[in-house]
Structure 1
């Protein structure tokens, strides 16, 4: 699994390339996860980001559907831990 990455760390990594280096980026930030699942706590947003990072499949990409699936998984695990 990759290490969690902040936007500042990403910017630092990009500094090793010349400014005119072609690239493609698909970037999602915590706000995107909060938008797709406002019911998540801040810690659950971090857990959702970690899950997305760990389970990302380049064939399916980071779509809204994928983000929603990851976001749904975290509260489901919470419910399983808290028996009624």
Structure 2
């Protein structure tokens, strides 16, 4: 039960990053799409830093889990963008 709330919040952040990345990939801006996933990874690192330095106890553990799940999702998005081929639709 403790994992569900951080996973849900991380899924919201990951969903926003995924939507923006796929939208940018659709328009042919793959480099900017990868940059969005890198920003998501930095957000996750920021959550983990906040959990380590500022928050204590259960709050810190919750922030750590949010950061961990955000990094995991954004790294998966980065791998997807790296290995997927750019498809150009015919005019």
TM normalised by structure 2 equals 0.26
TM normalised by structure 1 equals 0.28
